[in-house]
Copies of this chain bind each other. A is one copy, B any other.
Amino acid sequence: MKINGTPYRAIWPTSDAVEIIDQTQLPHEFVTLRLNTMRDAERAIKDMQVRGAPLIGVTGAYGVALAMRADVSDAALAEACSVLLAARPTAVNLRWGVEKMRELLASLPQDEREAAAWAEAARIADEDVAINETIGRHGYEIIDEIHQRKNAAVNILTHCNAGWLATVDWGTALAPIYTAFDAGIPLHVWVDETRPRNQGASLTAWELGQHGVPHTVIVDNAGGHLMQHGMVDMAIVGCDRVTARGDVCNKIGTYLKALAAHDNGVPFYVALPTPTIDWTLQDGVKEIPIEERAEEEVTHIAGLCGDGQVRRVQVTPKGSHAANYGFDVTPARLVTGLITERGVVKADAQAMQVLK
Contacts and interface: CB of A to CB of B under 8 A. Distances in A.
Contact of A328 (B201, B202, B225, B298): B225
Nearest to A190: B323
A290 interface: yes
A255 B222 CA distance: 9
Nearest to A329: B228
Given A209-B320, A298-B218, A299-B217, A225 B313 contact: no
Interface string A220-262: 1111111011000000000000000000000111011101100
Interface in A183-232: 190-191, 193-196, 198, 201-202, 205-206, 208-209, 215-226, 228-229
Contacts of A217: 298-299, 316, 320-323
Contact of A255 (B201, B225, B311): B225
Contacts of A299: 201, 217
Contacts of A228: 255, 285, 328-329
A141 interface: no
Given A217-B299, A219-B253, A301-B303, A315 B224 contact: no
Interface in A257-278: 257, 259-260, 263
B205 A320 contact: yes
17 contacts: A28-B314, A201-B320, A209-B317, A215-B321, A217-B299, A219-B220, A221-B256, A222-B323, A223-B256, A224-B255, A224-B259, A225-B328, A228-B255, A229-B285, A256-B259, A303-B314, A306-B311
Given A195-B219, A222-B324, A301-B303, 11 more contacts: A27-B316, A193-B315, A205-B320, A209-B317, A217-B322, A218-B298, A219-B252, A224-B328, A228-B285, A228-B328, A302-B313
